[in-house]
């Protein structure tokens, strides 16, 4: 397929990514989990968090010793539906996959389940975990602590975390509801894209060190919390940032972003949850009601020139359908994979 | 106390409110629950949602038959930690109090618990329920569907709900974390206050019917979702709005805001949750860690002229401490209570 259309087969990309990870010492099972989630990310259209990071984040961090390839992950559970997973500085993807499955297993039995994860590393895109709940007819929740990047209202510089929260809720025929949001006005990746393309920043995204609006990417001292200014709701974005930090970090026994004095590449804590639909009503009835909900939102009166009101998850569904036939990676990403293959001495067959 | 300082004793205000509700047929237990939560709201500093609404919302709606004073509330539970409460058009305060307690009882036993509530009515301020979890060393969650008031991105007019979400998390000595936010840029009450005081609206709060910014309260066709415009994150505020609508309405068997074709005064659905800290780690250890978290946020570098970085919940704690000595109600609110006493033939003794 890739030869005729210039598209990359997702299956081959997964195999390649798993081989690369195994080559730097990741056990086969963990390499397959991580590779699967990375390619799922690209399939969902989240280009910033998929295989684009394979070489410069995960392989690089493993080689630098910042991620352990043979972690001793331990789950401590003090109630039937809750517990803490200590990820022992292993791959965040493996920790996330295991913790999300654990939360779902608890939810299967009791109706709900929550696992907070400490001593983990960068887990990629939050919605690859929350959406694991969809096929089990559950509501999925995933959150992660991000690096320093947001300015607290009244603060100066990037003191608080670019934290992320995601909720996924199943439907019958409509696109599943998938919310995946950084608690800042924009994710850090948007600033990086502006830097790469030489675009100015829209006012309201970020501030300079002196507290005035940053208009160029290299002036950014910190991103504003969702809402932007206090009069436009910055305390809400700030509150969500702190909430995610507490659930991921304080509740897991870790440190919140402002408590971290020596940040290490990729270090992170997470929070996962699952709520079983059948504990409220039959999942089939619920999913039909979700379709009716989506239709009602679609049928809202539209502003002139607007064709459709798009619910969170609809773009992800469309991208996944399109891309399952083959992925078109950015030339820089392809180059990073070609170089990675050379560096590790594995075959580049994409 | 009230005679010497012009302040109203919270206990007397609670008794008065309960007597007023009993006078229109609310059973004693339900009247006491409702009155207690209304005054708790005023103590927390949420003036817009407390006894200010006693006469024109709850008593008026009861007299109009929109709220049943003797509802047949039924809980249906299909898993150990989850269930649906059908509130039978009773007082939202009673439904909320019962559902939150039910969620906490499940969490006590299993670690977490969630109750979705259908056929309910206006429950006041969300954080009076989430904060019920604090004294039981739990994380409390409460959400409610609001009236039509927010514009979807790409939409026209107030098609979606002024929905609200609240999380409360206990601390040791610092103020508990209390997030209580409408998913719009501002709550509807802020527009009402601007109307009352004749102030113009800040740009970015609301739009006119033609989609241009509303600068006067009487021009408002709808409030913008948190984020405001798509480039500043409106899809995040929109996503949160839909999320709350699904958890409150679809999951309880009710209708989401866009599905409601004939809105009735005060009709609402809610969602409550509780997560027990002891299911992760000792609550005492956690609360000490919460204090350390708060201190780290307080110690962040501050913008010039800023004395303190304020966490969600700190204003509520301060107000509750100040006001427990006596409440100073707005003259219009006092007048509404005096008139209510006359109307119902009960003694005004505040």
The more confident residue out of B157 and B186 is B186
Q: Are residues B69 and B121 in the same domain?
A: yes
In a domain, residue B318? The reply is no
Element (H, E) at B169: strand B164-169
Q: Does residue A62 sit at the B interface (CB-CB below 8 Å)?
A: no
- Give the span between the Cα atoms of B248 and B123, in whole angstroms: 13
Q: Residue A217 maps to which CATH number?
A: 3.30.60.50
Closest approach of chain B CAs to the CA of A246, in angstroms? 8
Q: Are residues A64 and A116 in the same domain?
A: yes
Site from B172, B183, B227 to mutate, A interface, most A CB atoms within 10 angstroms? B227
**Shortest CB distance from A239 goes to which of B81, B181, B236?**
B181
In a domain, residue A14? The reply is yes
Q: Are residues B210 and B243 in the same domain?
A: no
Put simply, the answer to whether A181 touches B289 (Cβ < 8 Å) is no
Q: At B25, is the pLDDT very low, low, confident or very high (cuts 50, 70, 90)? A: very high
CB A300 within 8 A of CB A308: no
Name residue B116's beta-bridge partners. Answer: B84, B271
- Give the span between the Cα atoms of A271 and B243, in whole angstroms: 18
Q: Does residue B296 sit at the A interface (CB-CB below 8 Å)?
A: yes
Closest approach of chain B CAs to the CA of A301, in angstroms? 6
User: For a pLDDT cut of 70, what percent of chain A falls above it?
Assistant: 99
Q: Does residue A45 sit at the B interface (CB-CB below 8 Å)?
A: no
Instruction: Burial-class residue A185 by CB neighbours within 10 Å (0-12, 13-18, 19+).
Output: buried
Put simply, the answer to whether A233 touches B246 (Cβ < 8 Å) is no
Query: Which residues in chain A have their CB less than 8 angstroms from residue B236's CB?
Result: 179, 181, 226
In a domain, residue B215? The reply is yes
Can you give the pLDDT at residue B4? 37
Q: Does residue B152 sit at the A interface (CB-CB below 8 Å)?
A: yes
Check pLDDT > 80 for residue B2.
Answer: no
Nearest-Cα residue of chain B relative to residue A313 = B239
Q: At B5, is the pLDDT very low, low, confident or very high (cuts 50, 70, 90)? A: low
Element (H, E) at B110: helix B92-110
Query: Which residues in chain B have their CB less than 8 angstroms from residue A240's CB?
Result: 179
Q: At A175, is the pLDDT very low, low, confident or very high (cuts 50, 70, 90)? A: very high
Segment B309-341, tens digit of pLDDT: 999 999 999 999 999 999 999 999 999 999 999
Put simply, the answer to whether B111 touches A160 (Cβ < 8 Å) is no
Segment A98-118, tens digit of pLDDT: 999 999 999 999 999 999 999
Q: Are residues B170 and B238 in the same domain?
A: yes
Q: Does residue B45 sit at the A interface (CB-CB below 8 Å)?
A: no
Closest approach of chain A CAs to the CA of B261, in angstroms? 10
Nearest-Cα residue of chain A relative to residue B170 = A246
Query: Which residues in chain A have their CB less than 8 angstroms from residue B302's CB?
Result: 154-156
Put simply, the answer to whether B239 touches A181 (Cβ < 8 Å) is yes
Instruction: Burial-class residue B135 by CB neighbours within 10 Å (0-12, 13-18, 19+).
Output: exposed
Q: Are residues A164 and A254 in the same domain?
A: yes
Closest approach of chain B CAs to the CA of A220, in angstroms? 15
**Shortest CB distance from B303 goes to which of A211, A228, A247?**
A211
Nearest-Cα residue of chain B relative to residue A118 = B280
Q: Are residues B153 and B44 in the same domain?
A: yes
- The C-alpha angle with vertex B310 and arms to A268 and A248, in degrees rounded to 5, equals 20
Site from A102, A152, A282 to mutate, B interface, most B CB atoms within 10 angstroms? A152
Put simply, the answer to whether B251 touches A280 (Cβ < 8 Å) is yes
Q: Does residue A108 sit at the B interface (CB-CB below 8 Å)?
A: no
Can you give the pLDDT at residue B265? 82
Q: Does residue B189 sit at the A interface (CB-CB below 8 Å)?
A: no
- Average pLDDT estimate for A138-142: 98
Residues 6+ apart with CB under 8 A from A269: A116, A117, A118, A119, A120, A144, A145, A248, A249, A252, A254
Check pLDDT > 90 for residue A211.
Answer: no
Q: At A198, is the pLDDT very low, low, confident or very high (cuts 50, 70, 90)? A: confident
Q: Are residues A197 and A89 in the same domain?
A: no
Q: Does residue B246 sit at the A interface (CB-CB below 8 Å)?
A: yes
Q: Are residues B276 and B130 in the same domain?
A: yes
Q: Are residues B103 and B211 in the same domain?
A: no
Name residue A114's beta-bridge partners. Answer: A82, A273
**Shortest CB distance from A235 goes to which of B160, B258, B312?**
B312
Q: Are residues A179 and A198 in the same domain?
A: no
Segment B288-308, tens digit of pLDDT: 999 999 999 999 999 989 999
Q: Residue A260 maps to which CATH number?
A: 3.30.1370.60
Put simply, the answer to whether A80 touches B111 (Cβ < 8 Å) is yes
**Shortest CB distance from B293 goes to which of A233, A259, A299?**
A259
Of the candidates B92, B70, B84, B152, the residue with the CA atom closest to the CA atom of residue B117? B84
Q: Does residue B256 sit at the A interface (CB-CB below 8 Å)?
A: yes
**Shortest CB distance from B82 goes to which of A78, A112, A247?**
A112
Segment A257-283, tens digit of pLDDT: 999 998 888 899 999 999 999 999 999
Predicted ipTM beyond 0.95 = yes
In a domain, residue B349? The reply is no
Q: At A1, is the pLDDT very low, low, confident or very high (cuts 50, 70, 90)? A: very low
Of the candidates B274, B252, B236, B260, the residue with the CA atom closest to the CA atom of residue A178? B236
| B34 half-sphere exposure, CB direction, 13 A CA radius | 29
Segment A6-53, tens digit of pLDDT: 799 999 999 999 999 999 999 999 999 999 999 999 999 999 899 999
In a domain, residue A296? The reply is no
Nearest-Cα residue of chain B relative to residue A259 = B296
In a domain, residue B109? The reply is yes
Residues 6+ apart with CB under 8 A from B48: B187, B189, B192, B193
Q: Are residues A203 and A334 in the same domain?
A: no
In a domain, residue A293? The reply is no
Q: At B3, is the pLDDT very low, low, confident or very high (cuts 50, 70, 90)? A: very low
Closest approach of chain A CAs to the CA of B298, in angstroms? 9
Query: Chain-wide mean pLDDT for chain A?
Result: 95
CB B154 within 8 A of CB B225: no
Q: Does residue B301 sit at the A interface (CB-CB below 8 Å)?
A: yes
Question: How big is the A-B interface in CB pairs under 8 Å?
Answer: 265
Q: Does residue A199 sit at the B interface (CB-CB below 8 Å)?
A: no
Nearest 5°: phi and psi at B201? -90, 140
Segment A41-97, tens digit of pLDDT: 999 999 989 999 999 999 999 999 999 999 999 999 999 999 999 999 999 999 999
Residues 6+ apart with CB under 8 A from B331: none
In a domain, residue B95? The reply is yes
Instruction: Burial-class residue B162 by CB neighbours within 10 Å (0-12, 13-18, 19+).
Output: buried
Segment B72-100, tens digit of pLDDT: 999 999 999 999 999 999 999 999 999 99
Put simply, the answer to whether B304 touches A169 (Cβ < 8 Å) is no
- How far separated are the first and last CA of chain A, in Å rounded? 10
Nearest-Cα residue of chain A relative to residue B178 = A239
Can you give the pLDDT at residue B232? 95
Q: Does residue A242 sit at the B interface (CB-CB below 8 Å)?
A: yes
Q: Does residue A296 sit at the B interface (CB-CB below 8 Å)?
A: yes
User: For a pLDDT cut of 90, what percent of chain B falls above it?
Assistant: 89
Q: Which domain holds residue A205?
A: 186-223
Segment B98-154, tens digit of pLDDT: 999 999 999 999 999 999 999 999 999 999 999 999 999 999 999 999 999 999 999
Nearest-Cα residue of chain A relative to residue B112 = A81
Structural domain total, chain A: 2
Q: Does residue B110 sit at the A interface (CB-CB below 8 Å)?
A: yes
Check pLDDT > 90 for residue B257.
Answer: yes
Query: Which residues in chain B have their CB less than 8 angstroms from residue A156's CB?
Result: 300-304
Q: Are residues A212 and A102 in the same domain?
A: no
Could you say which residues from 330 to 349 on chain A have a Cβ atom under 8 Å away from some Cβ of chain B?
none
Closest approach of chain A CAs to the CA of B5, in angstroms? 34
Query: Which residues in chain B have their CB less than 8 angstroms from residue A160's CB?
Result: 297, 300
Check pLDDT > 70 for residue A143.
Answer: yes
Query: Which residues in chain A have their CB less than 8 angstroms from residue B303's CB?
Result: 154-156, 211
Q: At B190, is the pLDDT very low, low, confident or very high (cuts 50, 70, 90)? A: confident
Of the candidates A272, A262, A348, the residue with the CA atom closest to the CA atom of residue A101? A272
Name the domain boundary from B223, B245, B271: B223
């Amino acid at each position: 397929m890739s030869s005729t259309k210039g598209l990359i087969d997702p299956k081959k990309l997964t195999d390649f990514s798993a081989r690369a990870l195994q080559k730097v010492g990741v056990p086969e099972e963990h390499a397959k989990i991580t590779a699967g989630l990375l390619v799922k990310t690209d399939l969902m259209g989240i280009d910033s968090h998929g295989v684009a990071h394979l070489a410069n984040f995960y392989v690089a961090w493993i080689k630098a010793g910042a991620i352990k390839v043979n972690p001793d992950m331990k789950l401590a559970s003090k109630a039937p539906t809750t517990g803490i997973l200590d990820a022992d500085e292993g791959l965040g993807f493996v920790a996330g996959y295991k913790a999300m499955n654990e939360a779902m297993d608890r939810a299967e039995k009791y109706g709900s389940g929550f696992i907070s994860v400490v001593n983990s590393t960068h887990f990629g895109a939050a919605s690859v975990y929350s959406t694991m709940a969809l096929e089990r007819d559950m509501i999925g929740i995933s959150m992660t602590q991000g690096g320093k990047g947001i300015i607290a209202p009244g603060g100066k510089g990037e003191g608080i975390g670019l934290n992320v929260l995601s909720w996924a809720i199943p439907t019958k025929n409509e696109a599943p509801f998938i919310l995946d949001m950084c608690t800042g006005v924009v994710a850090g990746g948007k600033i990086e894209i502006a830097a790469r393309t030489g675009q100015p920043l829209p006012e309201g995204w970020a501030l300079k060190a002196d507290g005035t609006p940053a208009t160029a990417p290299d002036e950014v001292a910190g991103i504003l919390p969702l809402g932007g200014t206090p009069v436009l709701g910055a305390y809400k974005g700030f509150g969500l940032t702190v909430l995610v930090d507490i659930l991921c970090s304080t509740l897991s026994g870790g440190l919140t972003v402002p408590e971290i004095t020596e940040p290490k590449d990729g270090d992170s804590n997470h929070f996962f949850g699952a709520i079983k639909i059948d504990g409220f009503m039959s999942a089939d009835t619920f999913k039909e009601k979700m379709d009716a909900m989506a239709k009602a939102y679609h049928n809202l009166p539209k502003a002139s020139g607007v064709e459709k009101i798009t619910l969170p998850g609809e773009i992800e569904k469309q991208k996944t359908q399109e891309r399952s036939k083959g992925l078109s990676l950015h030339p820089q990403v392809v180059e990073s994979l070609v170089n990675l293959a050379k560096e590790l001495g594995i075959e580049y067959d994409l």
